[in-house]
Amino acid sequence: MNALKALRAWPADRRNSQRMALWTAQEIASATGGSASGDFQVSGVEIDSRDVRSGDLFFALKGEAMDGHRFLDKAFANGATAAVVDRVVDFPHILVSDTNAALEALAFAARDRSNAKRIGVTGSVGKTGVKEAIFAALDRTSRGSTHRSVRSYNNHVGVPLSLARMPVRSHYGIFEMGMNHAGEISGLTAQVKPHVAVITTIAPAHIENLGSIEAIAAAKAEIFEAVMTGGTAVIPADIPQFEQLRDAAQAKGINVVSFGKSDHADVRLLDSILSANGGSLVTADMGDVRLCFSVAEPGEHWVSNALAVMAAVRAVGGDLGSAGLALAEMGGLKGRGARHQISAISGKALLIDESYNANPASMRATLHQLGQTPATRRVAVLGSMKELGDFAPRFHSQLAEPLADANVDYAILVGEEMSVLARDLGKGAADALAGGLSFAHCDGPAEAISALEEFGITSGDAILVKGSNSVGLGRLVAHFTARS
């Protein structure tokens, strides 16, 4: 069969006959209850004038300290086709009474007009990575008709924005949902109305606001509240909160699929072997079928993530073979595991970028992976873990054990909350001479950069950079990767 015949033989899909424009002026006006200044079509939706590209619809959102109407000139200079505004302007626009409410209304319209299978992803650790892995798995066989939220657009603005961007032709949509307080996931899942709800794991992230692990699990379980009839909950089988999550899902009449090492897991890990590239070769039992696939991302946590991905893909009728190929090809995300070869004395060193987020569970997981990474020396640059409240001193102090287990040669501790760990590790060269861990305690990223430069990066070093995003360790990553 020649290429032309093969193209003609490709399975037909009625969605292929639909137009390519994301929204027309009349569709936006109808969805938002607004009035259009004229006829136009847009190819994207944006809320930040700095990110506007040619063809975008710019929403002039209003907050407590910011008004998007102030940035209309910049948005149109960057190529916006039209804007959603609450006052008459000289640019093509949709006039509404409330631009924030209009964004949510457009999100609902995008959701309801599409036949896409929607997947919601939440959890204390790994949300973005799992969301991206599910996207890669489904996009391989949907011919580019899989949509997902970009970056970490997982809050009360990011979720409706991501929905509003979903093309009508989409086969699948994957949406990340985050929270800091109880009740937030409830509002987000009501917007998405997922067919599949994934919880990656439960860990003491945001415990400052919620008070206990059980309360965190209950807040994450809010994702089950608006799952579509006949939908599926994908939950971790190996955590103490398994029964709490299972019962919450079943109370909503949702089919439960669990994943993990436990004998009761529906997607059960049978074996995991380290592969030559640092990833894993995984064998899993899904009840009626066994799978053997590779996971490019290193670490035991990514083995668990991969099981969740496989469960979600199967729940929406995706191809498991393509999912395995996608997992084998995935690279680390910026701030969430990306690996860089950086300049070092007499060669190159490995820098592992985990600078976007940190909590006790993810700190332990990444330090464990650092310990398994072949290296001449291992360096850990650790920033404070935020939103731990009264639990912060204990959780920071407990990092001494995984640092030791990982055979870390030098630690740079960044931020006020790390002072308790610095105290426990001891001070000065005397501890290092006595066999203790050599370390430096820094106030911020600039001082941490100086400390790492003073330590000296040599060929074969492996450097882990991890901390809560507000600590700013992305600056350290940018400094050393740019220099390379």
Query: In the 3-class helix/strand/coil scheme, how is 5-62 assigned residue by residue?
Result: HHHHCCCCCHHHHCCCCCEEHHHHHHHHCCEECCCCEECEEECCHHHCCCCEEEECCE
Specify the domain boundaries for CATH 3.90.190.20 within the chain.
Answer: 338-483
Element (H, E) at 466: strand 462-466
Q: What's residue 4's pLDDT?
A: 52
Specify the domain boundaries for CATH 3.40.1190.10 within the chain.
Answer: 114-329
Round to whole Å and give the CA distance between 192 and 226.
8
Sheet with 35-36, edge to edge strand ranges: 35-36, 93-95, 82-85, 56-59, 44-46
Residue 434: which residues within 8 A CB-CB, separation 6 or more?
none
Q: What's residue 483's pLDDT?
A: 75
Question: Under DSSP, is residue 286 helix (H, G, I), strand (E, B) or coil?
Answer: coil
Question: pLDDT for 240-257, tens place per residue?
Answer: 999 999 999 999 999 999
Assess contact for 197 and 224: CB atoms under 8 A.
yes
Specify the domain boundaries for CATH 3.40.1390.10 within the chain.
Answer: 20-97
Question: pLDDT for 260-287, tens place per residue?
Answer: 999 999 999 999 998 877 789 999 999 9
Q: Are strands 290-295 and 338-344 parallel, antiparallel or unpaired?
A: unpaired
Round to whole Å and give the CA distance between 407 and 367.
9
∠50-51-54 over CA atoms, to 5°?
110
Q: What's residue 6's pLDDT?
A: 52
Round to whole Å and give the CA distance between 372 and 407.
9
Question: pLDDT for 383-397, tens place per residue?
Answer: 999 989 889 999 999
Question: pLDDT for 154-164, tens place per residue?
Answer: 999 999 999 99
Q: What's residue 397's pLDDT?
A: 94
**Mean pLDDT taken over the chain:** 91
Element (H, E) at 95: strand 93-95
- The two tokens of residue 431 are 């501890």
Round to whole Å and give the CA distance between 464 and 411.
9
Report the greatest alpha carbon distance in the chain. Answer: 76
Cα dihedral sign for 261, 243, 288, 126?
negative
Annotate 26-37 with DSSP letters as a single string.
HHHHHHHT-EES
Q: CB atoms < 10 A from the CB of 88, how many?
A: 9
Round to whole Å and give the CA distance between 362 and 379.
17
Question: pLDDT for 414-463, tens place per residue?
Answer: 999 999 999 999 854 444 444 578 999 999 999 999 999 999 999 999 99
Annotate 116-175 with DSSP letters as a single string.
-EEEEEE-SS-HHHHHHHHHHHHHTTTTT-EEE--TT--STTHHHHHHHT--TT-SEEEE
Assess contact for 150 and 162: CB atoms under 8 A.
yes
Burial 15-54 (b: 16+ CB within 10 A, else e): eeeeeeebbebebbbebbebebbeebbbbbbbbebeebee
Length of the chain: 484
CATH architecture of 338-483: Alpha-Beta Complex (3.90)
Round to whole Å and give the CA distance between 95 and 232.
39
Strands (E) located in 255-401: 255-260, 267-274, 280-285, 290-295, 338-344, 347-354, 378-383
Q: CB atoms < 10 A from the CB of 198, how many?
A: 32
Round to whole Å and give the CA distance between 203 and 384.
16
Q: Rounded to a whole number, what is the distance in angstroms from the first to the last CA of the chain?
A: 48
For domain 20-97, the CATH class is alpha beta
Assess contact for 200 and 235: CB atoms under 8 A.
no
- The two tokens of residue 479 are 């400094």
Q: What's residue 5's pLDDT?
A: 57
Q: What's residue 16's pLDDT?
A: 47
Q: Are strands 93-95 and 35-36 parallel, antiparallel or unpaired?
A: antiparallel
**Please, is 112 exposed, middle or buried when counting C-beta atoms within 10 Å of its C-beta (0-12, 13-18, 19+)?**
exposed
**Please, is 2 exposed, middle or buried when counting C-beta atoms within 10 Å of its C-beta (0-12, 13-18, 19+)?**
exposed
Assess contact for 158 and 165: CB atoms under 8 A.
no
Round to whole Å and give the CA distance between 64 and 62.
7
Residue type, 136: A
Q: Name the residue with tokens 């004998």.
A: 263
User: In the chain, which residues have pLDDT < 50?
Assistant: 7, 15-18, 428-434
Q: What's residue 433's pLDDT?
A: 44
Assess contact for 114 and 162: CB atoms under 8 A.
no
Was domain 114-329 assigned CATH 3.40.50.720? no
Residue 317 DSSP label: T
Q: What's residue 434's pLDDT?
A: 44
Q: What's residue 20's pLDDT?
A: 62
Q: Are strands 23-24 and 41-42 parallel, antiparallel or unpaired?
A: antiparallel
Assess contact for 308 and 260: CB atoms under 8 A.
no
